[in-house]
Amino acid sequence: MSEPLLQLQGVHTHIGAYHILQGVDLEVPPGEFTILLGRNGAGKTTTLRTVMGIWSASEGSIRFEGQEIGNLGTPDIAQRGIAYVPENMGIFADLTVHENFVLAARGAKRSADMDPKRLAWVFELFPALRKFWQHPAGLLSGGQKQMLAVARAIVEPRKLLLVDEPSKGLAPSIIQNMVQAFRELKRTDTTILLVEQNFNFARQLGDRVAVMDGGRIVHTGTMASLAGDEALQQRLLGLSLASHQ
Amino acid sequence: MNPSPPAASPLDELPRVRRDLLPLALIPVIALLGVPLVGSFSTWVTLTFAGLAMGMIIFIIASGLTLVFGLMDVLNFGHGVFITLGAFLATAILGPLAGWTTSERILLNLGAVLVAMVAAMILVGLVGFLFERAIIRPVYGQPLKQIMITMGGMIVGEELIKVVWGPQAIPLLLPAGFRGSILMGEAAVEKYRLVAVVIGLIVFAAMFWVLSRTKVGLLIRAGVQDREMVECLGYRIKRLFIGVFVAGSALAGLGGVLWGLFQQSVVPQMGGAITVLLFIVIIIGGMGSVGGCFIGSLLVGLVANYAGFLAPKVALFSNILLMVIVLLWRPEGLFSVGKQ
Amino acid sequence: MFSRLLSGDLPRSRMLTLLLLGVLAALAFAPFLFPGAKALNVAAKICIFIVLVASFDLLLGYTGIVSFAHTMFFGIGAYGVAIAITRLGPTWAGVAAGTGCALLVSLLLSLLIGLFSLRVKALFYAMITLAVATAFMTLASQLSDFTGGEDGLSFKVPELLSAAFSLREAPFLGVSLNGKLLSYYLVFTATGLLFLLMLRIVNSPFGRVLQAIRENAFRAEALGYRIVVYRTLSNVLSALFATLAGVLLALWLRYNGPDTSLSFEIMIDILLMVVIGGMGTLYGGVLGASLFIVTQNYLQDLMKLASVAATPIPFLRDLVHPDRWLLWLGILFIVSIYRFPFGIVGKLRLKARPPA
């Protein structure tokens, strides 16, 4: 097995008085689509935010391409080639779609500096964005905002995408659109770590899967084996459903 | 799952571009309201220009304050000291340039004022940089300490100004060419007020250009909405913030030069005295909004001048009254900045 | 018994205890220890500011709210007595009426401000109170028929307190026993009682809730405490104590005007006293007020010496000029916030308790 692109070892994160991550061990192999599953409050979002350096780990190591990034600030982590699509999408509502793109393209001073081929490819994935190019992003629908959020993460090539619950609150037809877009992304060999609660959405995309509970990873394996093993699903996700109530 | 057939695909709906222009209409509305209240048209013209000039200067001073707040949730209670410093620097610079300021040639007058403005901006910007390092940086994210420590910065700054220039008022005379008034019809408009309006417009245009047409401007606007996301996109927002803080201080210094010339005398307390007015302006405009700050400044300037003419006793409350009315209409201020 | 008097909130540091006892003794025997009108004036001012600063600490230190309207309530108290006596004559009934009205006005005003604006963030509260206080000061100086405008009001106090009143002809221990002395002891006794009352409040269950809110508003709310109610109550209490301090000020000075009780400079002074003395410990108010006022009145004398000594060095000479005393206290204030956020009291208590 090749060296993991991202590797977390024994990561603990405290937020205020709360001990959220209690020793997370996770490996994200390059070129693969890893899904992080688990119930609400299991620590999935915190894991992504800790990787991004928004919250700092109190213990443990986070390595990206073999180098420790746990002590870096968020901008430095982003500059190493990690893109983040947060749960709330982080859209700049008062800026136009176009301006959101320009900001996401770090190398570009103006829109003219953006790679036209790549831009065309992004538009192909999300045609709506071309249409609303000059509109304030705040006026987009929820699904379109999610598309913009993902598009921002890929407008320039990045080594790793961290995506937090892209299916949340979206209509089924738009979820399918999103699945298509992620499949297309997969073909470009982008490494993706995606947090999801919607197993149906997740099973269509993931190569590998990790399940979290109580601030720890409680299962890792291939998506195929999890999808084929109903008893395991029951145990991992049924359990999470039960404790969810 | 039981997927119900989706209604018309939302992808096809074209959202209408809505620009919220209502607050912009307030300025002409207030100005027109002033006509029947003031009675005499020529007096109204004089008052309106006085109000606009005052508003422009306030805008120059307050714009930095509101941006700094929007970007980092830092409200600098010591902003006033930059104004005072700018004004005192103007006395120090225009003094030796007396040959230029008293000259009959308007270009030399203008040159002297320009030198004073540029020098004040550079020096006050530098002081702003040190202020950020020493006073504000250590207390990020601690609003209580921030309020107190910026207040402390104000006290010390004011005292230091007294150490250098002494506690008494210093006259700051207008260059010869800017004194007196010109007649517009029957209305007399002081020349310097026209100059202040023009400078204010230039600053506003420059700021508008930076904010809407440059990447730094985009970053500032984005940072005001969601600074965490700006960092996640790989930009160092602290560096951006220092830049904005220094620019805001420099503008306050520029405003101090203009305000000092407007009052024709400077005292160490002038910055502190105007701080409440600045807060009112940025609350009216919506904290963090430059456009709102512009409209708020002009409104405050106009209302202060009309009220000062109509009922001098009420004038002192007119700004607070204006703020209360605006907040009753829009509790977040004229333009609320969509924070995430 | 002693502990009960202090509501169980002991100084918890030998040095602090000594300092506090020192201040207490100095204030209690001030007329005998420090002869002269200036010294007595300083002592009375310290007493009044102890009440004022402690009441501000109720808000800032114990509840975590920055208000710039505290001098407004101080001024209401002072104006209440001044106006009542001017209208009703120098009688105790006048004093009582003025105090009652002032307390009522402060109660309503602080309730109003609290309910309207304590829901918002600390910054907005600070800004709003600053605006309200400025408006109030303008109002006070504009309504000259009522308040005496910029000139303020000079008035007589009840005969018992006036300098003309004499308890006995012969001086006692070299101090004449006149109304001025009685005034001082009235101020001193009131200060002691009000201070003990505040100590009781902050150490009551109510005070504990306030501190819980300051530490973690979110958690306190989750525990079922209505934050707005508690904050408003604390705001009202703090305003009422400030009003009483204002009453004492008016009685002592026999004069009140915008600059003596309402000015923003006084607000800054209070802030400095609280922070330098130590936030969240009422004892800090005692030390802060004493240190500040003594400095204000006597540091200048010291600086005069330094200034004369530094005459040949132009800039340094101006730095230590007696009028620049606020510069040095301002620097001390900033350093306090960084280095010892709980002020002198916090520092002393930390020293008393060996690091665990």
pLDDT tens readout for residues C327-356: 888 898 888 888 887 888 888 887 766 544
Contacts of B54 by beta carbon, 8 Å cutoff, 6+ apart: B262, B300, B301, B304, B305
- Shortest CA distance to C247 belongs to which of C194, C286, C198? C194
Asked if residue A200 and residue A146 are part of one domain, the reply reads no
Domains detected in chain C: 2-352 (1.10.3470)
pLDDT given at position A115: 85
Asked if residue A243 and residue A127 are part of one domain, the reply reads no
Q: What is the pLDDT of residues A219-237, one digit of tens each?
A: 999 988 888 888 888 777 7
**CB-CB contact of B128 with B248 (8 Å):** yes
Q: What is the pLDDT of residues C22-54, one digit of tens each?
A: 999 999 888 888 888 888 999 999 999 999 999
**CB-CB contact of C36 with C180 (8 Å):** no
Work out the pLDDT band at C119, boundaries 50, 70, 90.
Answer: low
User: Looking at B224-238, C93-107, C151-165, which range is the least confident one?
Assistant: C151-165
Cα–Cα distance measured from residue A107 to residue A110, given in angstroms and rounded to the nearest whole number: 9
pLDDT given at position C84: 94
Structure token digits, residue B70 = 């929007």
pLDDT given at position C354: 55
User: Looking at A42-56, A123-137, C94-108, which range is the least confident one?
Assistant: A123-137
**CB-CB contact of C119 with C235 (8 Å):** no
Our CA-based measurement puts residue C160 at a distance from the nearest CA of chain B, in whole angstroms, of 40
Work out the pLDDT band at A54, boundaries 50, 70, 90.
Answer: very high
Contact B233 A73 (CB under 8 A): no
**CB-CB contact of A27 with A4 (8 Å):** yes
Q: Is A156 in a helix, a strand, or coil?
A: coil
Chain B partners within 8 Å of A167 (Cβ): none
Alpha helices, DSSP H only, in C169-281?
A: 179-202, 205-215, 217-222, 227-253, 258-261, 264-277
Cα–Cα distance measured from residue C178 to residue C181, given in angstroms and rounded to the nearest whole number: 5
Q: For residue A115, count CB atoms less than 10 angstroms from its CB and return exposed for 0-12, middle for 13-18, buried for 19 or more.
A: middle
The reply to whether A138 touches chain B by the CB within 8 Å rule is yes
pLDDT given at position B248: 94
Contact B160 C334 (CB under 8 A): no
Contacts of B176 by beta carbon, 8 Å cutoff, 6+ apart: B101, B102, B103, B104, B109
**CB-CB contact of B119 with B292 (8 Å):** no
Asked if residue A150 and residue A93 are part of one domain, the reply reads yes
Contact C275 B148 (CB under 8 A): yes
Q: For the residues C180-197, what does the mean pLDDT come to? A: 93
CATH number at residue A24: 3.40.50.300
Asked if residue A148 and residue A96 are part of one domain, the reply reads yes
Work out the pLDDT band at A244, boundaries 50, 70, 90.
Answer: very low
Q: Is A23 in a helix, a strand, or coil?
A: strand
**CB-CB contact of C77 with C242 (8 Å):** yes
Q: Is the pLDDT of residue C125 over 80?
A: yes
Q: Tell whether A211 is covered by a domain.
A: yes
Query: What's the Cα-to-Cα distance from C37 to each of A152, C34, C183, C197, rounded to whole Å?
Result: 74, 9, 13, 30
Q: Tell whether A153 is covered by a domain.
A: yes
- Shortest CA distance to B280 belongs to which of C71, C124, C109, C120? C124
pLDDT given at position B17: 52
Q: For the residues C276-292, what does the mean pLDDT come to? A: 90
Cα–Cα distance measured from residue A225 to residue B60, given in angstroms and rounded to the nearest whole number: 64
Q: What percent of chain C has pLDDT over 70?
A: 94
Q: For the residues A156-160, what does the mean pLDDT come to? A: 91
**CB-CB contact of C90 with C156 (8 Å):** yes
Helices B270-285, B290-310: axis angle to 10 degrees equals 120
**CB-CB contact of C63 with C213 (8 Å):** yes
Compute CA C170 distance to the chain's CA centroid, rounded to the nearest angstrom.
35
Q: For residue C312, count CB atoms less than 10 angstroms from its CB and return exposed for 0-12, middle for 13-18, buried for 19 or more.
A: exposed
pLDDT given at position A11: 94
Mean pLDDT of chain A: 88
When divided into structural domains, chain A yields a total of 2
Q: For the residues A60-85, what does the mean pLDDT come to? A: 94
Q: Tell whether A148 is covered by a domain.
A: yes
Which residue of chain A is at minimal alpha-carbon distance from B229? A90
Work out the pLDDT band at C319, boundaries 50, 70, 90.
Answer: confident
The reply to whether A172 touches chain B by the CB within 8 Å rule is yes
Chain C partners within 8 Å of B316 (Cβ): 135, 138, 142
φ, ψ of residue A23 in degrees (nearest 5): 95, 65
Best B66, B144, B149 member to test C by mutation, with max C CBs in 10 Å, is B144
Chain B partners within 8 Å of C263 (Cβ): none
Cα–Cα distance measured from residue A207 to residue A35, given in angstroms and rounded to the nearest whole number: 8
The reply to whether A128 touches chain B by the CB within 8 Å rule is yes
Structural domain span for residue A94: 82-158
CA B180, B185, B186: angle at the middle one, nearest 5?
70
Chains near B (3 or more Cβ pairs under 8 Å): A, C
Within chain B, which residues score under 50 in pLDDT? 1-15, 340
DSSP 8-state secondary structure symbol assigned to residue B90 = H
Chain B partners within 8 Å of C338 (Cβ): 138, 149
pLDDT given at position B330: 84
Helix (H) or strand (E) segment spanning residue A38: strand A33-38
Mean pLDDT of chain C: 85
Q: What is the pLDDT of residues C227-265, one digit of tens each?
A: 888 888 999 999 999 999 999 999 999 999 888 889 888
Contact C324 B159 (CB under 8 A): yes
- Shortest CA distance to C133 belongs to which of B322, B320, B307? B320
DSSP assignment of B177-192: GG-SEEEETTEEEEHH
Structure token digits, residue A121 = 């490819």
pLDDT given at position C167: 67
- How many contacts, defined by CB atoms under 8 Å, are there between B and C? 87
ipTM attached to this prediction = 0.90
Q: Of A129, A158, A187, which residue constitutes the final position of a domain?
A: A158
Residue appearing with tokens 């230590």: C320
Cα–Cα distance measured from residue A238 to residue C98, given in angstroms and rounded to the nearest whole number: 72
User: Looking at A170-184, C31-45, C98-112, C115-129, which range is the least confident one?
Assistant: C115-129
Asked if residue A4 and residue A60 are part of one domain, the reply reads yes
Work out the pLDDT band at A245, boundaries 50, 70, 90.
Answer: very low
Q: For the residues C64-74, what does the mean pLDDT come to? A: 92
Higher pLDDT, B47 or C125: B47
pLDDT given at position B142: 82
Map out the domains of chain B as residue ranges.
39-270
Q: Is the pLDDT of residue C209 over 80?
A: yes
Asked if residue A187 and residue A149 are part of one domain, the reply reads no
DSSP 8-state secondary structure symbol assigned to residue A8 = E
Contact A95 B222 (CB under 8 A): yes
Cα–Cα distance measured from residue B215 to residue A99, given in angstroms and rounded to the nearest whole number: 9
Asked if residue A185 and residue A152 are part of one domain, the reply reads no
Work out the pLDDT band at C190, boundaries 50, 70, 90.
Answer: very high
The reply to whether C127 touches chain B by the CB within 8 Å rule is yes
pLDDT given at position C95: 92
Burial B54-64 (b: 16+ CB within 10 A, else e): bbbbbbbbbbb
Asked if residue A59 and residue A99 are part of one domain, the reply reads no
Q: What is the pTM of this model?
A: 0.85
pLDDT given at position A38: 87
Residue appearing with tokens 């990561």: A11
- Shortest CA distance to A37 belongs to which of A188, A241, A175, A177? A241
Alpha helices, DSSP H only, in chain A?
A: 44-51, 74-79, 97-104, 116-125, 127-131, 142-154, 172-187, 199-203, 223-228, 230-233, 239-244
Work out the pLDDT band at C170, boundaries 50, 70, 90.
Answer: low
Asked if residue A151 and residue A98 are part of one domain, the reply reads yes
Contact B77 C333 (CB under 8 A): no
Chain A partners within 8 Å of B11 (Cβ): 127-128, 143-144
Structure token digits, residue A184 = 């297309």
Query: What's the Cα-to-Cα distance from C187 to each of C4, C40, C73, rounded to whole Å?
Result: 23, 11, 18
Q: What is the pLDDT of residues A166-209, one digit of tens each?
A: 888 888 888 888 888 898 888 887 899 999 888 888 888 888 99
pLDDT given at position B4: 35
